[in-house]
Amino acid sequence: MQDRGQSADIFTYNSLLDGMFNIKQLDKALMLFRQMKERGINPDIYTYTILIDGLCKSGRLKNAIEIFHDLSIKGYHPNVRTYTIMINGLCKEGLLHEALALLSKMEDNGCLADAVTFETIIRALFEKDENDMAEKVLREMISRGLLNG
């Protein structure tokens, strides 16, 4: 694009980042992210969501957590997808109490969990034989009308 005199915008970078992470090119994706910022393209919440998702899927949960925590410092407000990705990353590492705490924080911040968020937590709880807690979360999901009882 640059050879043709066209500059990439945030949508182009987000698409490229998502593609890089999807084909497991973590180092190239992180290099592209740095390049984007160096060129004056400010990341948006979608960029950070792609970054957090890619890091979680690549086993770099600690880095994903750091970026997630930095969002509020930078003035971004995570959306339900961003929270759900972070909750899923925590669940996959067996950090169920942290995932439940993040769910609580999410709702305290005015971002309501959706069916995908609840299903992510319920699945992880059942996998860890936390059946009572899973049923409690399931009842909450039903009470919110996110699942027909």
Domain 1-77 has CATH 1.25.40.10: yes
Contacts of 141 (CB under 8 A, 6+ apart): 115, 118, 119, 122, 147
Judged against a pLDDT cut of 70, whether residue 149 lies above it is answered with no
Residue 127 Cα to chain centre, angstroms: 21
Residue 72: predicted pLDDT = 85
Which among 142, 139, 56 is positioned nearest to 99, based on CA atoms?
A: 56
**CB of 5 within 8 A of CB of 21?**
no
Per-residue pLDDT of 5-16, as tens digits, reads: 677 899 999 999
Residue 138 Cα to chain centre, angstroms: 22
- Domain positions in the chain are 1-77, 79-149
Report helix, strand or coil for 65: helix
pTM of the entire predicted model: 0.90
Per-residue pLDDT of 114-146, as tens digits, reads: 999 999 999 999 999 999 999 999 999 999 888
Instruction: Give dist(CA 30, CA 33) in Å, integer.
Output: 5
**pLDDT band with cut points at 50, 70 and 90 for residue 3:** low
Residue 8: predicted pLDDT = 86
